[in-house]
Amino acid sequence: MKKILFLMVAFAAAAMAADAEVANQTLKAYSMIAAGVGLGLAALGGAIGMGHTAAATIAGTARNPGLGGKLMTTMFIALAMIEAQVIYTLVIALIALYANPYLG
C-alpha cells in the first residue's frame, strides 16, 4: 500500500512540474482511472449487498411462508436503495469524466 501511495505522489509531483497541457492530460487520465475504480467498487458493494438482501429474504420466507409477500416488498425497497447508491456513483463518475471542475 505504501508503494502505491508513493507512486501516486510521484505521479502527482510530475504532473505539477509539467506544463499546463500535460497537466490537463494527466488530470484527465487520473479522472478516468478514478471513475473506473469508483464504479467498480460501487458495483461490487452493490452486488454484495443485493446478494445478502436476497439471501435474507429467502431465509425469512422459508421460515415463515405467510410473510413472503411482505418480505418481498421490503426486499424490493431495499434493492432500490442499494441500486441508488451505485447510480449516484455513476453520476459522480460521469461528472468527473465530462464536466471535470479541476480542468482549466
Q: State the pLDDT at residue 51.
A: 95
Average pLDDT over residues 3-21: 69
CA distance 21 to 65: 64
Residue 69 belongs to what domain range? 28-104
Domain assignment present for residue 71? The answer is yes
Looking at the structure of the chain, the number of domains it has is: 1
Domain assignment present for residue 96? The answer is yes
Say if CB 92 and CB 27 are below 8 A apart: no
CATH of the domain at 42: 1.20.20.10
Average pLDDT, the chain: 85
Say if CB 82 and CB 53 are below 8 A apart: yes
pLDDT digits (tens, 9 = 90+) for 63-89: 999 999 999 999 999 999 999 999 999
Alpha-carbon 15 to chain mean position = 25
Instruction: Tell the residue number behind the cell numbers 436476497, with chain if given.
Output: 54
Domain assignment present for residue 8? The answer is no
Query: Longest Cα pair distance anywhere in the chain, in angstroms?
Result: 68
Domain assignment present for residue 33? The answer is yes
Domain assignment present for residue 59? The answer is yes
Q: State the pLDDT at residue 97.
A: 82
Domain assignment present for residue 64? The answer is yes
CA distance 5 to 15: 15
In this prediction the pTM is: 0.69
Domain assignment present for residue 17? The answer is no
Say if CB 93 and CB 31 are below 8 A apart: no
pLDDT digits (tens, 9 = 90+) for 24-58: 777 788 888 888 888 999 999 999 999 999 999 99
Domain assignment present for residue 67? The answer is yes
Q: State the pLDDT at residue 79.
A: 94
